[in-house]
Structure 1
């Protein structure tokens, strides 16, 4: 069986329809929070924790990537309260991350992007149930 053409792959992530938004947000959350597993701790980490090793700038990049998820939520028509909670999660993550040396530890535990993904998924499952996926 041959792989799908590149256009088919790209089109599944492009657009403003809720299914495409869900895929993009899930991909971003995976990039930021779950790229690989730390062997001894058996805990996933991603780019968000790695960026914490770059003083201030890394945290700003991580916050910008987290804010992009909130932008996608806005495009879905989520409420201002939901978006405020999401921005609060990104802000807490940023503020904890700028603590020198130990900033990666709270980021390793808080996972603002995973929290925001859950908020978005709840909204999508309620308002766009056809986009729901079965995780197994």
Structure 2
């Protein structure tokens, strides 16, 4: 499974580059969509939550939504009339000398910990990049005053939310086909751990089935897929 997760991680980095996403300033939680009149002309734009791929498990959907929402709240929820750039609670908390910087660090690490709870975990390269973003943000914030201003513009939480978004988007794409291609063009079947589904209460049917039938969760997931076929 580690090989498949690693491949999806590499594809996630490529996805961000190909899509031209600005991971520092693009809103990870909401998007603007055009509203057309009867003649098909765009009359305005409305804001809505970014859609979440249907192929993902209930667990992955909930985590992606949570990370997106908190990243926006902590990095981009406020706007000052004096300048156009947005900022969030992370910037305000960071203004408190020393204590604020460490509190901001704990908040960012909490977000990474939440993201790592996706089914199958995060690719090591993706996790390392998230950690690096947080450490850079923390280091910048230690510089008195000027560091706080730059910190507000760096937005480590937003960067990490986009990394998770790209990874889960690639994962959803692989779930649709049931496989993923490596760099050599060879197709690898997705492990059962990446196909786990949860119900509205957060329970995992494959694990419950495994406990009652005496099989591993992976085998249970395969049995479910065979039954659906």
TM-score using structure 2 length: 0.48
Query: Which residue of 84, 109, 113 corresponds with 2:157?
Result: 113
Q: Report the structure, 1 or 2, having the larger strand content.
A: 2
Query: Which residue of 55, 68, 82 corresponds with 1:26?
Result: 68
Distance apart, 1:95 and its partner CA: 0.8
Per mean C-alpha deviation after superposition, the further-off stretch among 83-92 and 41-50 is 41-50
Query: For residue 83 of structure 1, what is the aligned residue in structure 2?
Result: 127
Query: For residue 82 of structure 2, what is the aligned residue in structure 1?
Result: 40
Mapped partners of 1:107, 1:101: distance in 2: 10
Query: For residue 94 of structure 1, what is the aligned residue in structure 2?
Result: 138
Distance apart, 1:40 and its partner CA: 2.7
Cα deviation, 1:38-63, whole Å, max 9, x if unaligned, reads 12312211011111210111111111
Cα deviation, 1:13-45, whole Å, max 9, x if unaligned, reads xxx701110111011101211121112312211
Gaps of 5+ in 2: 1-57, 176-229
Gaps of 5+ in 1: 1-15, 131-136
Larger Rg: 2
Per mean C-alpha deviation after superposition, the further-off stretch among 39-48 and 112-121 is 39-48
Moved beyond 6 Å, runs of 4+: none
Mapped partners of 1:95, 1:44: distance in 2: 21
SS in 2 for 1:103: helix
Mapped partners of 1:22, 1:122: distance in 2: 10
Query: For residue 59 of structure 2, what is the aligned residue in structure 1?
Result: 17
SS in 1 for 2:145: coil
Query: Which residue of 64, 71, 77 corresponds with 2:106?
Result: 64
Cα deviation, 1:88-124, whole Å, max 9, x if unaligned, reads 0000100110112222111122111111111000011
Mapped partners of 2:80, 2:170: distance in 1: 34
Calculate the aligned-residue CA RMSD, in Å.
1.8
